[in-house]
Amino acid sequence: MSDANSNTGSGSGASSANGLANGSANGPAGPVLNEPGNGSGEPIVRARGLTVGFGPKTIHEHLDLDIYRGEVLGVVGGSGTGKSVLLRTLVGLLPRRAGTIEMFGTDIDSASTEQRLAVERRWGILFQQGALFSSLTVKQNVQVPMREHMRLDSRLMDELALLKLAMVGLAADAADKFPAELSGGMIKRAALARALALDPDLVFLDEPTSGLDPIGAADFDDLISKLRDTLGLTVFMVTHDLDSLFSICDRIAALGNKHIMVAGDLKTVMQYPDPWIKEYFHGKRARGATEGRAGGA
């Protein structure tokens, strides 16, 4: 199997984290918001004091974050602030120098192997470029988590894979195609189907609309929203797409200065007094997104 990212869309590491943030000692603390937007009020992931770095460079320091059940949490930040690093740290693909991660009530550091596997079955991951195995068909890619975590016969796995593909809007004839035969949008949907293979409670999405045209990106946002509502998913989404933030995110967490600067609803984050946030949410592109939504209302 060849692929730039050999990890499947199911959990294959430790755990994940969150949506509320209290800031850090190294920067201004964001407002502490205990209300999860459209979520249940129950944090299913808690990260406290996360410190992550590479060599002499520290990416995150004393970072706190919660993800609430049922919410779509959008994670934003400038280039190099470590958005994807945070995602990969939460699911155990990158080591942390300090801090704790608790998922579904389980402390990942003290969990047994069996407990960790049980937790990992409850999340799925869509990597930034899809990360499909190029030597496997779409159907076989979707079945990778099933083969890793379940004992099912081939016929049942085929049926389940086709069901997952239908859930994300792919036709049955896409099942036997290879990734090289798919469009960018189809690759994202196939990767999402793989992330949903084990019926997870939580999905991590890394730039899910990156590289898609505006219509394709809007369709993908609608798909995420419908899946959240239909399946009761919780969504942790790294994104730079303003339309996604405006249309489907219940809360937003903004990374900067090695921690979460602020987390809350769109209005709260937009009012936070930081130069990057001001430029990002009030610049020309942000005004265009806002005016476009107002015009379509």
Read off the tokens for 98: 């300090």
Render pLDDT for 121-177 as a digit per residue (tens, 0 to 9): 999 999 988 899 999 999 999 999 999 888 888 999 999 999 999 999 999 999 999
What pLDDT shows up at residue 136?
96
Residues written for the chain = 297
pTM, whole model, 2 decimals?
Answer: 0.83
- The answer to whether the CB of 101 falls within 8 A of the CB of 15 is yes
CB-hemisphere CA count at 13 Å for 192?
26
Render pLDDT for 226-280 as a digit per residue (tens, 0 to 9): 999 999 999 999 998 999 999 999 999 999 999 999 999 999 999 999 999 999 9
Mean per-residue pLDDT, 205-215 = 91
Render pLDDT for 73-86 as a digit per residue (tens, 0 to 9): 999 999 999 999 99
What pLDDT shows up at residue 148?
86
What pLDDT shows up at residue 23?
37
What pLDDT shows up at residue 31?
40
Residue 116 predicted with pLDDT over 80:
yes
Residue 9 predicted with pLDDT over 70:
no
Mean per-residue pLDDT, 181-209 = 94
What pLDDT shows up at residue 128?
84
For 239-256, give one letter per residue: b (16+ CB within 10 A) or e.
bbbbbbbbbbbbbbbbbb
Which residue did the predictor score with more confidence, 57 or 292?
57
What pLDDT shows up at residue 15?
33
- Percent of the chain residues topping a pLDDT of 70: 82
Spacing of C-alpha 171 from chain mean position: 24
What pLDDT shows up at residue 286?
67
Q: Give CA angle at 277 (275, 282), nearest 5°.
A: 100
What pLDDT shows up at residue 275?
93
Q: How confident is the model at residue 2 (pLDDT cuts 50, 70, 90)?
A: very low
Domains and CATH numbers, the chain: 43-296 (3.40.50.300)
Q: How confident is the model at residue 7 (pLDDT cuts 50, 70, 90)?
A: very low
What pLDDT shows up at residue 40?
58
How far apart (Å, rounded) are the C-alpha atoms in residues 17 and 166? Answer: 29
Q: How confident is the model at residue 292 (pLDDT cuts 50, 70, 90)?
A: low
Which residue did the predictor score with more confidence, 186 or 284?
186
Look over the chain and give the mean of its residue pLDDT values, rounded to a whole number: 85
How far apart (Å, rounded) are the C-alpha atoms in residues 73 and 67? Answer: 7
Spacing of C-alpha 25 from chain mean position: 26
